[in-house]
Amino acid sequence: MSASTIALALALGLATGVLSGLFGVGGGILFVPILLALGLGQLEAQATSLLAILPTVAAGAWNQRRYGNLRVRTALIVGLASVVGVEIGARIATALPEDTLRRLFAVLLFAVAAQLVWRTVRARPRYPDSP
């Protein structure tokens, strides 16, 4: 890995971390496209993203707990249940052609974007009486 690739990876990792902390999005939605831009294949990017998420999650959870926003019991239940899902998903991902996997990931990104737009359009002001 060249020095310029490492520098680019560090810059993109920093930017992705800021966006993850700012918007609370899962690292995969940000990390996978970044890793693809760095030249990894779809399956490699997804697998690498799973490990890259760990430090981001730990730092984000630590900070959000300080602010009183973290619901530990709920997070642990969801996290433990997702371990089974990750195993199933990883088996499916490795069985699919990379092109199909890339297209499915694109569908996921479009679905997330559509859901965000829909919720934003339908949103009511949180504090209607405030200026």
pLDDT of residue 107: 95
- 128 is a domain residue: no
Number of domains composing the chain = 1
- 83 is a domain residue: yes
Per residue, what are the HEC states of 86-98?
HHHHHHHHHHCCH
pLDDT of residue 81: 92
- 29 is a domain residue: yes
- 130 is a domain residue: no
What residue numbers bound the domain in which 35 lies? 3-122
Amino acid at 54: L
| Predicted confidence band of residue 63 (pLDDT cuts 50, 70, 90) | confident
Write the DSSP assignment of 60-87 as a string of letters: HHHHHHHTT---HHHHHHHHHHHHHHHH
- 99 is a domain residue: yes
Number of H helices, E strands in the chain: 5, 0
- 127 is a domain residue: no
Q: How far apart are CA 26 and CA 119, in angstroms?
A: 18
- 16 is a domain residue: yes
- pLDDT tens, position by position, 105-122: 999 989 988 998 998 888
Task: Characterise 25 by phi-psi region: left (phi > 0), alpha (psi -120 to 50), beta (else).
Answer: beta
Q: How far apart are CA 28 and CA 57, in angstroms?
A: 11
